Amino acid sequence: MDDMEDDTVLAECIRGGDAACFEQLVRTHGGRMLATARKFMRHEADARDCVQEAFLSAFKNAHRFEGRSRLGTWLHRIVVNAALARLRSARRRPEISVEDLEPSFDGLGSRIDPRFESAPRPEKILETDEMIARVHACLEALPDTYREIILLRDLEGFDTAETAGLLGVELATVKTRLHRARAALKTLLEHSDLEHTS
């Protein structure tokens, strides 16, 4: 039996109310789903709640799994949706202005701001754990709208169409927000490198 057939059998088993099957699902996929939830949630407790919500949703909606994708892919999307829903319902925190982090151009469209010519570059972040921590610290500083886009496109690997579907926005909106978010992240990483090397 290949992997897709295994997934279909497992989904059938869960639809049938088999508790052992469901436990197998949780133990097999829970680790990766928790890793995903942690990228979106600021606190471990929220990430775990997110995963729990996702598995309950999977249990209630097992009849919707049609076997066209891997079960892990289906669960990944469920936990991402759960995380996005939690982010939207959370109380808004004071946000920095992303405009302050974007490049500047003069009246003729030429790039200005000499600091971009002298700032250290993000590739100087070498140690993996330090890199992950610094990327997340910079992402934390972004407004939620832009943070979500980078999480979905660059950290989770969804393409533009999938991201648009998850966020309920147009493709052009995803592209514009992504561009601004990446520009802001670049600036924040450069500033964080300056703080660490000065």
Residues that bind other proteins (CB under 8 A): 17, 19, 22-23, 26-27, 30-36, 38-39, 48, 51-52, 55-56, 59-60, 103, 105, 108-111, 116-117, 119, 121-123, 125, 128, 131-132, 135-136, 139, 150, 154-157, 175, 178-179, 182-183, 185-186, 189-190
Tokens of 80: 């991402």
Cα separation, 3 vs 106, whole angstroms: 56
Task: Report, in Å, the least distance between residue 38 CB and other proteins.
Answer: 7
Q: Give least dist CB 26 to other proteins, A.
A: 5
Please, what is the minimum distance in Å from the beta carbon of residue 103 to other proteins? 6
Q: Which residues contact 104 (CB under 8 A, 6 or more apart)?
A: 111, 112, 113
Is 1:9 a contact under the CB 8 Å cutoff? yes
- Of residues 5 and 96, the one with the C-beta less far from other proteins: 96
Comparison of 94 and 157: residue with beta carbon closer to other proteins:
157
Nearer to other proteins, 8 or 48 (CB): 48
Instruction: Quote the least distance from Cβ 66 to other proteins, whole Å.
Output: 22
Our CB check for other proteins shows the closer of 51 and 87 to be 51
In sequence order, what DSSP letters do the residues of the chain get, joined into one string?
Answer: --HHHHHHHHHHHHHTT-HHHHHHHHHHHHHHHHHHHHHH-SSHHHHHHHHHHHHHHHHHTGGG--SSS-HHHHHHHHHHHHHHHHHHHSPPPP---GGGGS-EE-TTS-EE-THHHHSPPGGG--SHHHHHHHHHHHHHHS-HHHHHHHIIIIIS---HHHHHHHHT--HHHHHHHHHHHHHHHHHHHHHHHHHHH-
Nearest distance, CB of residue 11 and other proteins, angstroms: 15
The residue (of 60 and 92) whose beta carbon lies closer to other proteins is 60
Q: How far is the CB of 77 from other proteins (least distance, A)?
A: 15
Nearer to other proteins, 77 or 186 (CB): 186
